[in-house]
Structure 1
Amino acid sequence: MLKKIFLLGMNTLVTFTLLAACSNDGGETITSSKPTAQEVLKEEPNADIIQINGTIYKTNIKRVDDLKVTKDKEITIIQKTSKKDFEDGTASKLPVKTKIFSTKEQNDVVIAEINGKIKKYIALAEG
């Protein structure tokens, strides 16, 4: 019985020690933010991305390509193509004047329409 109590106490002590060692010292709050175009392109230079309302959207993701979504309202038009100077309305690959639409089913997915073909883009969440 004494051995069980000793082992339980040691287990508890080790657990609290590990938790304390892994905690954030200094009382700082760790926050995350949405990835920027520069961060995405640094990690994947050939990424096909667009920026809408400060959010980066990316395509060529199998699970997104497989989604059944319906084009809804036009939300923006691509104003420029760039890999360095990104702002709302910028795309890394889409041509200027490409129309971007919301989808009825998902708020985080948009559709780009190019010559009658569609590409699905998903918002990159905070990381």
Structure 2
Amino acid sequence: MPPTAEARRIPYRRARGDAVERAARDMLVAAGLREIARNANFRVGELDLVMRDHDCLVFVEVRYRRDARFGGGAASVDARKQLRLVRAAQVFLLRHPAWAMLPCRFDVIEAEGDPDSPRLHWIRAAFSA
């Protein structure tokens, strides 16, 4: 049986997401942040990027929209998504206690346009826990 249209889109979505996350990571590294982890998956949620900004641990959510007419990426990080990110960050800190003493921040990177060279907008301290 041939794969469904949705099944054929999944590898494309993953490749598109990887390209956008790489662009976001490269932008953050160029700004002086250091990568700690990428795509940290836990039962409670996923952390796209975990970075270190001087003495601060930064949990970064990367949100891609091909077109921002229906709301940008930051608008999609609603209270429910924020809770999932906070819970994933808590699990990350439990599993990596060496980082637990640092202050933490939640950033969002909005990406839109061509996934191979997206326009990026970095929202520092997009929400607090």
**TM-score relative to the length of structure 1:** 0.25
* Greater helix content: 2
- Answer with 1 or 2: which has the greater Rg: 1
